[in-house]
Structure 1
Amino acid sequence: MANDNYKVVLKSRFAGKIPVTVYRSERTGLHIALAQTKGPAVSCQINFATETETDDGLPHTLEHLVFMGSKSFPFKGGLDLLSLNAMAVDGTNAFTAQDHTGYTVKTMGAQGMQQFVHIYCDHLLNPLLTPQNYKTEVYHITPEGIDAGVVYSEMQEHENMLECIVHRQRLAAIFPENPCFRVETGGRLKEIRELCSLERVRNYHQRYYHLKNMWIYLCGAVNPEEMFKTIDKIDAAPENAPPAEFTRPFSNCRIPDIKHDRSKPFVVKGPADQEDEGVVEIGFLGRSASDSEWLTAVEILGSYLTKTTSAPLQKEMVLAADPYCESVYMGMDVLPRVEVSFDFSGVPVEKLDQIQERFFKIIREHTTADKLDLERLRYIIERKIKKLYSKLESSVASTVFDRLAQFQLYADSHTNQKHFDSVMNPIPTLEKLLEKPIEFWAEICQELFKDNCAVVIGKADPKMAEDLNKAEEKRLKELAENLDKYGCHVLEKDAEEENKVPILSAVERSKTLQKFDLFNVNSTVLLPRTIESSKVEKDWTKQANEKVAINELPFTAVIHDVDSNFVRTLFMFDLKHVPLKLRKYLMVFTDLLFSSPAIVDGQQLTDKQVADLFTKEVMDKSCDMGFLQNYLHFFHLYLEMPSDEFHLLPKWTEIILNNTIFERKKVLSIVKNLASGASSSKRDGFTMCQNIMHSLNNVKEHESRWHEDVVLEKFHRDLAKTLEKNTPEAQSVIDDLNELRREILKAPLNAHLICDPRKLDAKKKIDSKSWEFLDPTLRKESPAAKIQFDREEDVARFKIWTPAQQVIKVDSSDSSYFMQRVLCEHNYGSAEHVALVLWSNYLSMMEGVLWKEVRGNGFAYGANLYISPDHQSMTLNLYRCSRIVEAYEASKAAVLKVFDENLIDSELYESAKRGCVSNIMSKYESLKSTATLTAFNDMRGLKMEDIESLTHKVWDADMNASFELAKPFIRKLFDDSHCLRAIACPSNKLEEVKNVFPDIKTITVTDLQYTPE
């Protein structure tokens, strides 16, 4: 029997709650790790430890090529089409890390996973790896002498970005004797061109992609006996027999101490349009990855040093009156020895050389036994325990998989039960750390923060872009003149055509897809019936502790009843009537709320005291404009805490919204950081492309125009000058912030409580007096009014649809970005909406028209159509283009040909239907995401039945009728008399873009910037 082959080797419980069992195949050494959870979704990740010592990106290229067909399913795109038939959510996906490659899929229900997992494994173990697929998916040279390929396009974005250059130099300094930890696993452009080859990829696959080096992670309601039956199709196949001898990757790796001293920092440069803020990284080496207590303790110290306003590095480097950087982040890479890094972004030019001295001064002053705050360390640990339990309701699969990967890669033995327990259940370790004396923490700091570390300073260099462009022009000229030398890489026209033809005939493909079709629209509609939206009624107190008195809330509240041990509250304020002269401060205001001193229980506390108390009492928080990036004239505050501490909700809502004290020096620090943060955004082509589209599509008064750091950079820099001294003008800014607060507190408000009301408890009575700071007599609307998003008003008031097109040069990346948008009037759930959802997915899906013509030819990494009923828009997005003009022309020609010539593939249409339904349902996979979307839909005026109805309408839609409905909308997207067009590209692509779009306007960052009056 198949199940006799799979023996239990390890058992534990993630966070002490979720059973996790590891099985090992006696036949091959394959490992299967199963985490048993409730719910409809089943997640899978297939992991290979992958080690490489060169920069040609072998792990990354192989990750792409395995999706191009297998020996048992020999047609491109077949894997994703088959996954949709198995009720997969969002198809398949993959990622390349420094030390492993992971392949993911998620299905709605265990049956689909049982059917699909062996098909997935077959593609990984027996990929076709053909020359044609290598050329289009990895790298080729066009007959015109231009470099292209999907992998090549993807890595162009990373090649010259300052942040990437700094990161590579840090790894090179830390791991000079361990190339496997310093190379670019995604690939460097020169090495992809000159070193990478199909033969090298095949050899790499043979070395690492076999069952002895393969782990299958599963999370969901899975019957292991049934799963073994399908996995055995792979495990028992003779062609999949693993090599007799295999040494685990990294098992013999020894990482010596860092040889560099901080007194000799590395200085690197990256191209930029101006000498802007830079980047600094400082890297250290720690203990072995198997030392779970030490690793967890360093995580805690990372939060202690960098998170919240009481953190020393945050307080003295980010929130200082004269900031040293816009942000500081501590990262940890779990390798044979743990690497700990500190990243400082948005560093003013004049402070780049001061960062490391300032960093070590703060570390030395704040990490001795007499300076460390043991009470705060314990608050952080207690909060981490609570957040770990919270993850069981939100992201359990990804959290479990990350820990499994850590064990798979670096455990000294895959049968080490003690190590497995410590990795899967960190709760005992955290509880043990609660008892550690202050000397323990001081010793860890002394051990970690040594002078032998890697310090890398990254400077933006405007001249570098010009030099790189000249060198690239020279290289491309030589390439075009000597194409005969590169014959193996040149993609001829006939090869392009050959690459588009599946190895299987259309009839064979159809039979294969039908054979594995399990899709059932009814079985995917698994929205929790326990979640219902209703106004709070008086009889709620009969179901909850009487102290809670949620019927006495002085505002409209909606309870989303879920089985949870936490209460997640979302306060939504409608600010559409707040004057623009005040709304312009919202970016500053939101940053101030969690970093300012405040009045607490009648006493004024410092920002550090407030942050420490917050860490102790609140699990999570956020505040921002909009809801899920929509309806930006709403302001939201999110707070999360255990259900039995519900009394803390009004307390902290009042502290944050009403009792914070706005001090001039604190405001000055915030606005300087916001201005500095614009530097990294200006180096991001995609962000700049979005900024252009926002400026074309919205009036200046719309929040999307001045909710971006680039757009408001000048305003923030001018504000900083005003706040430098204690003048009447500076006081006027403080007065405006206080006035904005008053306007928010009397704006129309709704609250959404995501919780189990029967579990709510409070240590003291909560009634209307607890909410007096939200006195309804001050409100502009009755507290009984239920707020809903008004899409028509939003579009009418703020949207611009006058045809326009703009391009901006971004020289920090070799990739280009393109967005094209048109007005697309339709209602949610209407016949037009159904048709647009279907046919945009038909065109964009894997092996859809855009996928084949744009990505398949190596013009761009991604090409997609997006439909938004909320914004009444349709958008074409071309992402990471290596050949932006060809990408657009191919998109336009391919899409119009479909609708001009009625070119419909019925099999792809059926897959598009399955993809649409799965995509809709995937958003409701976890308790937290379901409840959040329920709140969002409630404010959109949508009920759960409307979501379910949409899936059935999509499923039942007639192919020809929906095609005709979608046709005029999609054709309009390519009509220059209707569209908005935004492009961000390197300067060496600018003339080419202007030749194709002669009416396009070239703009600069200054043109995007706006100072609201």
Structure 2
Amino acid sequence: MLAQSLRRVLNTHLRFQTLNKRMSSTYANFDLVKRVKLGFTDVEVSKWRSRITGLSVVHLDYEAPIVNGYFAVGTEIFNDSGCPHTLEHLVFMGSKKYPFKGIIDQLANRGFSNGTNAWTDIDNTVYTVSTAGGQGFLQILPIYVDHILNPTLTNAGFVTEVHHIDPKGHDSGVVYSEMQGRQNTSGDLMALRLQRLINPEGSAYRSETGGLMEALRELTIDKIRRYHATYYVPHNVSLIVAGKLSDGTNGLLSVIQNQIEPTLIAQGYNEGPHPKGWKRPFLETSSAQRGPIRETITSTVEFPEKDESMGELVIGFIGPPPDEYLEREALDILGTYLTSSPVAPLNKQFIEIEHPLCTYFYFGEDTRATFVDLPVYVGSVPTGELDKLPNLLKECLGRIVTEGIDMTRMSMVIRRNRRQLWSKLESSKGDTFSGTIITDFLLGPQDGSGLLPAMNEMAYYDTLEKWTSDQWTSLLKRYYVDPPAVIVKGIPSASLADKLEKDEKERIASQVAKLGPEGLARAAEVLEKSKAEHDRPIPIEILKSFPVPDVKSIAWIPVQSHQEGNSRSIPAGRTTDSSELMKYIRTDGSPLPFFVEFDHVKSDFVTSHVFLSLATLPNRLRPLISAYSASFFSLPVQRESGHRLSHEEVVNALDNETVSYDTGLGVNSYFADMFRVSIKVEVEQYQSAVQWLKDLIYGAEFDKERIQVTLAKLQQAIPEMKRDGHTVMSAVWTELLFDERSTSRANGVTSQMDVIPKLIKQLQESPDSLLKDFEEIRKHITDPSGVRFAVSGEVLSLEKPRSIWHDCFRNVLPEANLQPVPLASRTLSTVGKKPSKKAIVVSLPTIESTFAMHTTKGIEGFNEPRYPAQRVALEILNATESFLWRYIRGSGLAYGASVSLDNESGLLSFSLYRSSNYMGAFRQGALVLKGLVDGSIPLEDTALDAAKSSIVYAVTNGVASPGRAALASFTNQALKGVSQYHNVDLLEKYEQVTKEDILTTLRDDFLPLFNPDTSVATVVTAPSQADGISQQLAGLGFEVGRRTLEASAEELAAGEVDSGSDGETESDTEGEDRR
């Protein structure tokens, strides 16, 4: 039956391939509400609505290899039960037509996707899916919508996915684990307090939509079902699709008309867009009753933290109505003007000083009904300054109103924002506009008249460039100086950390006593029955009826590549020298004596990178790299022209000429022993960017005052960084597995324990010695044998693509043989070379769950013959609703579980994220691996097919924009030493991987992760769990070491620093899975 349903979906899709592509104002049940063609980009937007069911459809049509879906539901809740958030999870447990947990993700994975995802905001829940090409997208769409509108919502799903009591009497469940990791963090506590104070009683904007733990413990599946019946209705849903479909918008509407509409109509949804009694959430309810703040309110929130030195601040203001787009754009630009760089007014007064009063300001905007909210976030404020800072901020803003705006800098900010929007559109048009389209669905006029004004950002830049200083100061005065505000102070409390630990232990003990042995046994029985019910296997014929698309349907972005320099960085035959690009480069000047790789893609921009080897850097200087990086763009510079620029002139010039600039260690989490500098500009600024690289590297002056400011900011940021369990876990892991030659280890939270205070002391007592250390860093990292340049973007339009490099670097980079790229494997510690027995358990008072990583030896190298099998095995284990997901997350043991391979260092790791039951999750991971190897858990061919298909999406997404494609070309050839299209070439090898290959690598390579003799463990957990976890690890055979991350001066640490501009980079990775 289900297989037949799937075939009908596919047959319908095939029939529509022959449809007339001419668009009209109606299509079957659907009427065209609005069509928008933006003048500044090739995106055409059409908004449609069914006159029968009220379902909305929006298609953003543009050329791209990835198709994105954002399926939005307006979700309003007037309590803290978490119904919106729990539904976000339960939707994926199966639907009425497809009543199998995880079927949606298993089918999506077969369709060139990496599974589905979702997020819950205060006023909406959005379900997402992305596919390589449109075929898989249209196949999965009807099935996904059926899950959203007709989920099974079973008791069993509630038990495992939302909340249950485990056999030991502890509360668990996926949603519960997530909120356990969030509820008592400073950010969540302060945000909830601000919501409560800024919105009146009776407003849904006051609610914690994620669900407070105490409310989740009382929630029932019946309450969730009632909530779903109220809000998950077609007239409250918008299907937003971004990307190119083979049959255009007609093909999309055809699938919806024939596969979705009939089911909805049969369920009685036939009263159109606004059925009798329906009230649009937030617009036609009490939540719309939002007024101004009548008087300034100050409130204090304590959050658990042993280090009581640094607090946080958020100041809430009320902004304009949501449809005042010009004014909202102006407020966004004003926030950038005030905070975006070291020379911004607020940064100069509060941050770029010897004793900073904070480490950052962020002027936010939250779109709400009636009026938008304008929160101002202030980070890492010394607790002694929390009371003073709000008044100091208001006084500073008042002075700006009186003295006026620096219109030269304001003009620069607007032009730069414009460039960054162009760049973002080139990288990801769907993500650029998705938030605007969702907000229009939630709060905009139903006739579509708000779409163009909401999207027409470039037009507002044109208007704002003509504004006067008086107009800007009037705006600042109206929204941030004159009106009252809600001030929420976040104060760290060591006693609260102890109290929470004590209270939780007492609550659990009381719960265990109340349940008694019989109650605990019943709880265990309920959990096991629930797991058994929703772990029913999906019939293979259903999965097989969903075909895997053809890789040939994907349109790859072409990249032309050419390398300069006598030293070949890669083996012969592994580069792709484009004859067109090579001829173009060689017409400009003479050959270069140093390494430069040019990667041409069609683009409006060009990025110049330099990768500087840190291999020869003395180990005593390695911990200084964080400070060197943080100060890189804010030092005085002696330009090659002879002109000396102050640090303010440097920042202003960079902001004026670039799209973005940043520094970092390596690229995409690889090659951390190379210091990278990247500058992205419009094509006409290319020569300027190259000159900036030269002058910033060789002409920077290590000024005592500027270094002092940098160190003070780093020191002040440390307490906030140490509150994050994942950050601490990663640092402890690096410290265990790498030696003192590792730059990552030297600049981690734990490895750099007392570096910053010592550097501050050295700068005070012996400044010349510290400044000489920075000079020595520059000397080592500019050794010609370790310098590699990359140019990516519109190379064929550059006026002097090659000769500018000769002009800028001829005097500092003589010809030299390139040394090999420094790899992480060379810096492994004794434990890292042979992981065995060691376990470190860290007690962290700011968290309530557990973060852990178990590591063993893996394959090393980027062209290893065993890699394809391991890559497919990783996908099989990690895929959404695959083995680790089902056995660990699906059982409520952790929010996330995965296995990862670092083939640069040759380490394989099993990770747990926000685990409520660490040892239970670890044992389930071992059970999965052992079961797959011995056959007690079957590995079906469909899992293999889905893994290979999902890898296609990952590869496509990695080169889905011009910038990504060009950077991948350089990374493959110049750093990894493989072919230009290595990732794409591997697709054929993945296809050849057999089930036997998978079982072999699981047995030989993955099982050692769960054997203490062949692995090590790093665990960061709440103080209340540290003793028990340590004892359990020792019982398994680990030699356990204990640590508590306190906040003494000797334990201050500086983590990786983003020292760049406020622009996007092409190496951005995805954030955490929000499901």
> What TM-score results when the alignment is normalised by the length of structure 1?
0.93
> Could you give the per-residue CA deviations for residues 681-722 of structure 1, whole angstroms, max 9, x where no partner exists?
211111111111111110123111122245325210122233
Q: Which residue of 2 aligns with 1:198?
A: 221
Give the secondary-structure state (helix, strand or coil) at the position aligned to 1:500: helix
CA distance in 2, matches of 1:792, 1:160: 38
Does structure 1 residue 514 correspond to structure 2 residue 544?
A: yes
After superposition, the Cα gap between the structure-2 partners of 1:991 and 1:621, relative to the gap in structure 1 and judged at 3 Å, is same
Does structure 1 residue 234 correspond to structure 2 residue 260?
A: yes
Describe how 1:352-367 pairs up with structure 2 within 5 A.
Answer: 352-367=386-401
Per the TM alignment, residue 503 of structure 1 is displaced from its structure 2 partner at its CA by 8.2
Amino acid at match of 2:162: V
Aligned-residue CA RMSD (Å): 2.8
Per the TM alignment, residue 26 of structure 1 is displaced from its structure 2 partner at its CA by 2.1
Does structure 1 residue 530 correspond to structure 2 residue 530?
A: no
> Could you give the per-residue CA deviations for residues 829-867 of structure 1, whole angstroms, max 9, x where no partner exists?
544222222223222323322222211111111111112
Contact 1:521 1:955 in 2 (8 A): no
Q: Which residue of 2 aligns with 1:432?
A: 463
Describe how 1:127-138 pairs up with structure 2 within 5 A.
Answer: 127-138=151-162
User: Quick one: which of 754, 764, 778 aligns to 1:741?
Assistant: 778
Q: Which residue of 2 aligns with 1:25?
A: 50
Describe how 1:98-117 pairs up with structure 2 within 5 A.
Answer: 98-117=122-141
Per the TM alignment, residue 69 of structure 1 is displaced from its structure 2 partner at its CA by 0.3
Percent same amino acid at aligned positions? 23
Describe how 1:591-670 pairs up with structure 2 within 5 A.
Answer: 591-600=630-639, 601-670=641-710
Contact 1:29 1:212 in 2 (8 A): yes
Give the secondary-structure state (helix, strand or coil) at the position aligned to 1:287: coil
Amino acid at match of 2:544: Q
Per the TM alignment, residue 493 of structure 1 is displaced from its structure 2 partner at its CA by 2.5
Amino acid at match of 1:913: K
CA distance in 2, matches of 1:38, 1:479: 57
After superposition, the Cα gap between the structure-2 partners of 1:607 and 1:503, relative to the gap in structure 1 and judged at 3 Å, is closer
Q: Which residue of 2 aligns with 1:587?
A: 626
Q: Which residue of 2 aligns with 1:698?
A: 738
Give the secondary-structure state (helix, strand or coil) at the position aligned to 2:606: strand
Segment of structure 1 superposing worse, 552-561 or 616-625 = 552-561
Amino acid at match of 1:513: L
CA distance in 2, matches of 1:488, 1:32: 48
Per the TM alignment, residue 958 of structure 1 is displaced from its structure 2 partner at its CA by 1.4
Per the TM alignment, residue 954 of structure 1 is displaced from its structure 2 partner at its CA by 1.7
Does structure 1 residue 343 correspond to structure 2 residue 377?
A: yes
Q: Which residue of 2 aligns with 1:93?
A: 117
Amino acid at match of 2:465: L
Q: Which residue of 1 aligns with 2:244?
A: 221
CA distance in 2, matches of 1:139, 1:888: 20
Contact 1:234 1:240 in 2 (8 A): no
> Could you give the per-residue CA deviations for residues 256-314 of structure 1, whole angstroms, max 9, x where no partner exists?
112341xx521221111332321111121111110000100011011101111111111
Q: Which residue of 2 aligns with 1:859?
A: 893
Amino acid at match of 2:443: Y
Q: Which residue of 2 aligns with 1:750?
A: 788
Give the secondary-structure state (helix, strand or coil) at the position aligned to 2:319: strand
CA distance in 2, matches of 1:550, 1:260: 68
After superposition, the Cα gap between the structure-2 partners of 1:260 and 1:517, relative to the gap in structure 1 and judged at 3 Å, is farther
> Could you give the per-residue CA deviations for residues 375-416 of structure 1, whole angstroms, max 9, x where no partner exists?
1111111111111111122121111111111222222x1224
CA distance in 2, matches of 1:266, 1:92: 40
Does structure 1 residue 481 correspond to structure 2 residue 528?
A: no
Gap runs ≥5 in structure 2: 1-18, 20-25, 566-576, 1056-1075
Q: Which residue of 1 aligns with 2:291?
A: 256
Give the secondary-structure state (helix, strand or coil) at the position aligned to 1:704: helix
Per the TM alignment, residue 109 of structure 1 is displaced from its structure 2 partner at its CA by 1.2
Segment of structure 1 superposing worse, 427-436 or 969-978 = 969-978
After superposition, the Cα gap between the structure-2 partners of 1:764 and 1:916, relative to the gap in structure 1 and judged at 3 Å, is closer
Q: Which residue of 2 aligns with 1:880?
A: 914
Gap runs ≥5 in structure 1: none
User: Quick one: which of 473, 489, 498 aligns to 1:442?
Assistant: 473
User: Quick one: which of 997, 1003, 1016 aligns to 1:967?
Assistant: 1003
Segment of structure 1 superposing worse, 95-104 or 252-261 = 252-261
Amino acid at match of 1:935: F
After superposition, the Cα gap between the structure-2 partners of 1:478 and 1:235, relative to the gap in structure 1 and judged at 3 Å, is same
Contact 1:148 1:859 in 2 (8 A): yes
CA distance in 1, matches of 2:214, 2:854: 32
Segment of structure 1 superposing worse, 782-791 or 576-585 = 782-791
Per the TM alignment, residue 988 of structure 1 is displaced from its structure 2 partner at its CA by 0.8
Amino acid at match of 1:721: K
Q: Which residue of 2 aligns with 1:846?
A: 880
Contact 1:795 1:872 in 2 (8 A): no
CA distance in 2, matches of 1:210, 1:664: 63
Aligned residues: 993
CA distance in 1, matches of 2:405, 2:317: 20
Contact 1:569 1:754 in 2 (8 A): yes
After superposition, the Cα gap between the structure-2 partners of 1:765 and 1:874, relative to the gap in structure 1 and judged at 3 Å, is closer
Give the secondary-structure state (helix, strand or coil) at the position aligned to 1:949: helix
> Could you give the per-residue CA deviations for residues 552-596 of structure 1, whole angstroms, max 9, x where no partner exists?
655311111101111012211112112223332211111112222
Q: Which residue of 1 aligns with 2:99?
A: 74
CA distance in 1, matches of 2:821, 2:422: 32
Q: Which residue of 2 aligns with 1:931?
A: 966
Describe how 1:308-387 pairs up with structure 2 within 5 A.
Answer: 308-336=341-369, 337-368=371-402, 370-387=403-420
Does structure 1 residue 208 correspond to structure 2 residue 231?
A: yes
Describe how 1:916-955 pairs up with structure 2 within 5 A.
Answer: 916-938=951-973, 939-955=975-991
> Could you give the per-residue CA deviations for residues 401-450 of structure 1, whole angstroms, max 9, x where no partner exists?
11111222222x12243x32121121011111000111110000001113
Segment of structure 1 superposing worse, 238-247 or 75-84 = 238-247
Contact 2:363 2:375 in 1 (8 A): yes
Per the TM alignment, residue 148 of structure 1 is displaced from its structure 2 partner at its CA by 0.6
Per the TM alignment, residue 54 of structure 1 is displaced from its structure 2 partner at its CA by 1.1
CA distance in 1, matches of 2:409, 2:800: 24
Q: Which residue of 2 aligns with 1:721?
A: 761
Q: Which residue of 1 aligns with 2:503?
A: 471
Q: Which residue of 2 aligns with 1:142?
A: 166
Give the secondary-structure state (helix, strand or coil) at the position aligned to 1:236: helix
After superposition, the Cα gap between the structure-2 partners of 1:538 and 1:164, relative to the gap in structure 1 and judged at 3 Å, is closer
After superposition, the Cα gap between the structure-2 partners of 1:489 and 1:395, relative to the gap in structure 1 and judged at 3 Å, is farther
Does structure 1 residue 152 correspond to structure 2 residue 190?
A: no
Give the secondary-structure state (helix, strand or coil) at the position aligned to 1:871: coil
Amino acid at match of 1:949: D
> What TM-score results when the alignment is normalised by the length of structure 2?
0.88
Does structure 1 residue 890 correspond to structure 2 residue 924?
A: yes
Amino acid at match of 2:256: I
Contact 2:352 2:709 in 1 (8 A): yes
After superposition, the Cα gap between the structure-2 partners of 1:784 and 1:340, relative to the gap in structure 1 and judged at 3 Å, is farther
Does structure 1 residue 814 correspond to structure 2 residue 848?
A: yes
User: Quick one: which of 982, 986, 1000 aligns to 2:1018?
Assistant: 982
Contact 2:58 2:239 in 1 (8 A): yes
Give the secondary-structure state (helix, strand or coil) at the position aligned to 1:558: strand
Contact 2:157 2:530 in 1 (8 A): no
> Could you give the per-residue CA deviations for residues 2-60 of structure 1, whole angstroms, max 9, x where no partner exists?
92332222222356212122122222222211112113211111111111121111111
Segment of structure 1 superposing worse, 526-535 or 714-723 = 526-535
